[in-house]
Amino acid sequence: MKNDAVNIEKIRIYIFGSGLYKTQPRDIDLLVVYDTQKISVQEVLALRNELSKEVFFKFGVSAHICLLSAKEGEYQIFIAQEKAQKIFPTMPNNCIHQTARSVAALMRQFMVGRW
């Protein structure tokens, strides 16, 4: 995928599940909450694809990435139930590929064992 500039404002990314408390989880669970007014479904799917690749590249495990629009109020319940930790409150640039790399780097701060 080329590094196309897209509007990726108003995205929040959370980590949850075993990646938060196991030193060697089998996978990494992420939740991407996005604003449908700011990013298209195609763009968020492209971001999910790039995040998946970066997680595998950086950690050697697969990523399970849930996508929920900010309009879907249940994401707040999900976050509370799963004790999800926000790892990316806002995107620093408009490049999906660079964002995926940044998120993968930030995940290290929240994962047990500091891979």
pLDDT of 51-90, one tens digit each? 999 889 888 999 999 999 888 777 888 899 999 988 886 4
pLDDT at 108 over 80: no
- Virtual torsion, Cα 35, 37, 39, 40, nearest 10 deg: 110
| Listed residue (32, 49, 43) closest to 8, CA to CA | 43
Assess if CATH 1.10.3230 describes domain 11-110. no
Comparing 25 with 111, the larger pLDDT belongs to: 25
10 phi, psi to nearest 5 deg: 65, 40
Report the relative pairing of strands 27-34 and 62-69 from DSSP bridges. parallel
Domain layout of the chain by residue ranges: 11-110
pLDDT at 32 over 80: yes
